[in-house]
Amino acid sequence: MIINQEIDHGKGFDWGLASRDYAKFRDIYPEAFYQKIVDLDLCVSGQKVLDLGTGTGVLPRNMAKYGAKFVGADISENQIAQAIQLSKNAGLDIEYVVASAENFDFPNKTFDVVTACQCFMYFDKAAALPKIHDVLKDNGHFAVLFMAWLPDESEIAKASEDLVLKYNPSWTGGGLKRYKIGTPNWLNGMFEVEHAFTDSMNVSFTREAWHGRMKACRGIGASSLSAEEIAAWEKEHLAYLETQPEVFDIPHFVSILDLRKI
């Protein structure tokens, strides 16, 4: 269980609780998302990549085709178990370890690239950044990747968020708006910004897939809600989705921050 006073008002959450739904419904990044990473010459052939907070191995599994050698690390044993099985099912030879972003064990200057996709906000920066800096080779890159739906631009996303908040008012994962990326104030002389940009991408969902995506969010499946509360949320959310088309697009905001080790 993770407890962070700056997230969900200090209410605990555990991604391991949502591992099955996470594995099934959160592999949603469009190919254009991965292509933007490749266009930065990251996670490509000849590189060794450490994916921190790998979850069920979404990034390594989808980017293995570009030729990099991935190692995925996550604090949750359940998430790593799903990552291993999904990679095996796909015929991929990807190494996974149970380890946090603040306490992994690799020799210095092991990796060309370190990635953190959809998880950097959970890291203790003071502890994690020096570790990331040390494990990167000279001039190596740390890529912070993020994609999230935009409730102000989608009635479906807004209605789904409202239902999450009805059952879990402590959840602070909603309400995302577009933002600009500047130079972070936490680089501490270890990194400099090589590239920083944002984009928009539509992601297509069926009603089932969107329901699963929402259930696998921090506010429901990974939360400390009871089984009865989650079941009640599911019933109401599914009833709402029955009023929507079978297939629909949800607009998403994407940000990519590419930092070079100095």
Q: Quote the CA–CA distance of 180 and 165 in Å, as a whole number.
A: 26
pLDDT at position 15 is: 66
Interatomic CA distance for residues 201 and 192, integer angstroms: 27
Beta bridge partners of 192: 260
pLDDT, tens digit (0-9, with 9 covering 90-100), for 75-104: 999 999 999 999 999 999 999 999 999 999
Residue 90: how many CB atoms within 10 A of its CB?
Answer: 12
Closest CA to 48 of 63, 27, 26: 63
Closest by CA to 76, choosing from 4, 141, 20, 151, is 20
Look at residue 1 in the predicted model and tell me its pLDDT. 63
In the predicted structure, residue 210 carries a pLDDT above the cut 80:
yes
Strands 136-149 and 95-98: unpaired
For 215-240, what is each residue's pLDDT tens digit?
999 899 888 899 999 999 999 999 99
Give the model's confidence band at 19: pLDDT under 50 very low, under 70 low, under 90 confident, else very high: confident
Strands (E), 152-190: none
Task: Provide the token pair at 141.
Answer: 């890159």
DSSP annotation of 104 reads -
Strand order in the sheet with 247-261: 95-98, 69-74, 48-52, 111-117, 136-149, 247-261, 191-206
3-state secondary structure of 101: coil
Task: Name the pairing type of β-strands 247-261 and 191-206.
Answer: antiparallel
